[in-house]
Amino acid sequence: MAYTLFSIGDYYQIMANFATTNLGGAHVARFIGQRIIYMIITLFLIATISFVLMKLLPGSPLANADKLTEAQQEVIFEKYGLNDPIPVQYVNYLGGLVQGDLGISFKYDNRPVSDILSDRIGPSAQLGIQALIIGTVAGILLGLVSAIYHNGITDYLSTIIAVLGTSIPSFVFAGLLQFFVAVKWGILPVATWNGFEYSILPTIALAIFPMATCARFMRTEMIEVLNEDYITTARAKGLAGSAIIFKHGIRNALIPLITILGPLAVGLLTGTLVIEQIFSVPGIGEQFVTSVTSNDFPIIMGTTMFFAVVFIVMILIIDILYGLIDPRIRLSGKD
Amino acid sequence: MKKDNILEVNDLKVSFKTHSGEVQAVRGVSFDLKKGETLAIVGESGSGKSVTTKALMGLLPQPHGFVKEGSILFDDKDITKLKEKNMQAIRGKEMAMIFQDPMTSLNPTMKVGTQIMEGLLKHQNLGKEEAKIKAIELMNLVQIPNPESRMKQYPHQFSGGMRQRVVIAMALACNPRVLIADEPTTALDVTIQAQILELMKDIQKKVDTSIIFITHDLGVVANVADRVAVMYAGKIVEIGTVDEVFYNPKHPYTWGLLGSMPTLESDEEELFAIPGTPPDLIAPPKGDAFAARNKFALEIDFVEQPPMFKVSDTHYAATWLLHEDAPKVEPPESVKKRIESMDHSEEATR
């Protein structure tokens, strides 16, 4: 997968540079401009590398290649431009990409890739957003409770949940959920996509990893924050325990949590590939897996580019969140 | 409680539970704080001075620290027996604290004004607007320029000295009757130290509050305090007015402290270093804790802890040297010289 190509560090470096200087509106505009240029470069690199990797895939896009004569295959290859030298194919592809044309699927006759993606984006987006919200909120609460009652029974329980959640892969949970909740107890549907109740099990399966990661992280951060001097200062003012935790604790503990939201978002994106397959959710992830097995090049490329854009936008949002929560990194800091 | 006392600490013992055993950080401390006075508590690191004040505020680190014995009388109530809820009503309102390191004692993600207003909103029944006005007044009191705009800023936009002013403003918010300053200048640059000390003295005149000033800097003591208590290994070894303790010290440990203080005149003579290290407070020695480092130690020092001997109505010291049967011992020459030179420099500055 090409997602790991991008360096989050680069972005934070820029952020840090900006944080140390006083910024007016012009600086903010320049910052955003710079970010957009970086985004374009990143997308170009992703397009190039995934194109090369895709060309290295074994097999042919023809489902029944052995039944076709050489001449028939030649005709089909010619039609889709697969006989051109690879550099030519690459330039053609990039040319299309710049004009917003993702190409036409090999498998689904003459359907543009963008149509197929937009058909399938709904279920994926719903799953991803539900899982992200449930995972982070539940994880933060769980971590908070463990930190406040730390070394108590609640803490041990939530630590166990967190360790299980991070160490067991989501497809195992998916299988377990399908077996117990759907097959054995018959509470919720096993698979497919016909309404909200169909989204519950895949959402849970997908949310477990972010939840466990957030819980572990939040616990450590909160315990650390509660030992900070400014918490003693707050106690010395006579504030009640709850006021100290909510007004002084949570916000400071959340700042480092934002750094792991990026990797978590990647986890969700890649997680959807597996989870959608297991639950037969007609989403982009499932489409992606199918198209890789059938060498449907335009769809593989289109989906990769789509994921890349989603991820880049997520990182931008995370940076903005950072500024909102931590005044020390605020862009428009006036002195 | 005596009439002009605001606080009475009686035989206070504070311990910490650790894996290697119970650390007896404070081992029977008694003192009182009079209305309007400044009492300095001096001593080296680990002598129990900070722990004593944390116990006064009910801020001992939980769950390891606890008051083992003794009482702290405030308003005729023993506040060591108070529930957390009732203690919250005293903290920040009746007793407030200024902390050592202004770089860490302010919340980095909360506006400075909000942090000052918090105590006001909690204790004074003020509306938000009134609290804001009071916060601006406080910032003026601690001489922070442009308080209206500075209020809306975050701690990272303040210098160390300015932050400490914010911490002081926070502590003064509800006109506390007791103000505890835990080494308020230790973490600051020397020039800023002087400014903050000036500010504290200034406030002392304007605000009617009693101050407990913790420090290991004897120069600071001479500057701000009325009385001084010298702590060693969890006990007060000498207590008296600043003049008594500085010019007529009785405890060998106080001699050591005075002798080890560098002065401008001290370039010729060597600094007097106290040999050895403080005792292990998990298993404190049977007799006088200072005996092992004390070249004037008597045999009885290793057997029995000395009681507080009275030197004058206000001056007490815990050393067997003051017993009527003890040999007459004079402070070492270098310490005597030091005391004399302090005397001169005092006169020079007057």
ipTM: 0.88
Closest CA to A219 of A250, A244, A262: A250
Tell whether the model's pLDDT for residue A332 goes beyond 70. Answer: no
Say yes or no: B118 and B45 in one domain.
yes
Q: Measured between alpha carbons, how far apart are the two ends of chain B, in Å?
A: 37
Nearest to B20 by CA among B59, B61, B64, B58: B64
| B20 lies in the same domain as B135 | yes
Residue B342 lies in a domain: yes
In a domain, B242, yes or no: no
Domain count, chain B: 2
Mean per-residue pLDDT, A170-179 = 90
A26: confidence class by pLDDT, cuts 50, 70, 90: low
Range of the domain at B183: 5-225
Residues of B numbered 149-168 whose beta carbons fall under 8 angstroms of chain A's beta carbons: which are they?
A: 153-154, 156-157, 167
How does pLDDT run along chain B (350 residues), one tens digit per residue? 788 899 999 999 999 999 999 999 999 999 999 998 999 999 888 899 999 999 999 999 878 899 999 999 998 899 999 999 999 999 999 999 999 899 999 999 999 999 999 999 999 989 999 999 999 999 999 999 999 999 999 999 999 999 999 999 999 999 999 999 999 988 888 888 888 888 888 888 888 889 999 998 888 888 889 999 999 999 999 999 999 999 999 999 999 888 887 766 655 566 777 888 888 888 888 888 898 888 888 888 888 899 999 999 999 999 999 888 888 888 888 788 878 777 666 555 54
- Residue B88 with chain A: CB contacts under 8 Å: 238-240
Same domain for B91 and B23: yes
Neighbouring residues of A298: CB distance < 8 A, sequence distance ≥ 6: A102, A103, A104, A105, A106, A113
Q: In the listed set B159, B191, B225, which residue is the last one of a domain according to the structure? A: B225
Homologous superfamily of the A119-297 domain (CATH): MetI-like (1.10.3720.10)
- Best interface-test mutation with B: which of A230, A231, A255, A329 has the largest number of B CBs within 10 A? A230
In the A/B pair of chains, how many CB contacts fall below 8 A? 79
CB neighbours (10 Å) of residue A65? Answer: 12
Same domain, B254 and B146: no
Higher pLDDT, A110 or A104: A104
Per-residue model confidence (pLDDT) at position A334: 41
Q: Is B110 in Cβ contact with A248 (below 8 Å)?
A: yes
Q: Are B50 and B4 in contact (CB under 8 A)?
A: no
Is B162 in the same domain as B194? yes
Share of chain A above pLDDT 90, in %: 25
Whether residue A262 has pLDDT greater than 70: yes
Per-residue HEC secondary structure of chain B comes to CCCCEEEEEEEEEEEEEECCEEEEEEEEEEEEEECCCEEEEECCCCCCHHHHHHHHHCCCCCCCEEEEEEEEEECCEEHHHCCHHHHHHHECCCEEEECCCCCCCCCCCCCHHHHHHHHHHHHCCCCHHHHHHHHHHHHHHCCCCCHHHHCCCCHHHCCHHHHHHHHHHHHHCCCCCEEEEECCCCCCCHHHHHHHHHHHHHHHHHCCCEEEEEECCHHHHHHHCCEEEEEECCEEEEEEEHHHHHHCCCCHHHHHHHHCCCCHHHHCCCCCCCCCCCCCCCCCCCCCCCHHHCCCCCHHHHCCCCCCEECCCCCEECCHHHCCCCCCCCCCHHHHHHHHHHHHHHHHHC
Contacts of B84 in chain A (CB under 8 A): 241
The pLDDT tens digits of the residues spanning A247-259 come to 999 989 988 888 8
DSSP state of A181: I
Nearest to B88 by CA among A241, A226, A243, A239: A239
The predicted-structure confidence for B118-142, as pLDDT tens digits, reads as follows 999 999 989 999 999 999 999 999 9
List of chain A residues whose C-beta atoms are within 8 Å of the C-beta of residue B107: 230, 233-234, 248, 252
The reply to whether B116 and B164 lie within a common domain is yes
CATH code for the domain in which residue B58 is found = 3.40.50.300
Q: Higher pLDDT residue, A331 or A142?
A: A142
- Amino acid (1-letter code) at residue B226: D
> Which has the closest alpha carbon to A18: A1, A5, A31?
A31
Average confidence (pLDDT) over A219-236: 93
CB–CB contact A230 B107 (8 Å): yes
Q: Which chain B residues touch A232 with a CB distance below 8 Å?
A: 59, 99, 105
H or E, element range at A11: helix A8-19
Whether the predicted pLDDT of A2 surpasses 60: no
pLDDT for res A318 = 81
Is residue B238 domain-resident? no
Task: Using alpha carbons, select from A106, A114, A24 the residue that is nearest to residue A73.
Answer: A106
Both tokens of residue B170? 């926070």
Confidence of residue A77 (pLDDT cuts 50, 70, 90): confident
Query: What is this structure's pTM?
Result: 0.80
Q: Which pLDDT value is given to residue B235?
A: 94
| Short-list A177, A231, A238, CA closest to A203 | A177
One domain, residues B153 and B275: no
Q: Is residue B234 part of a domain?
A: no
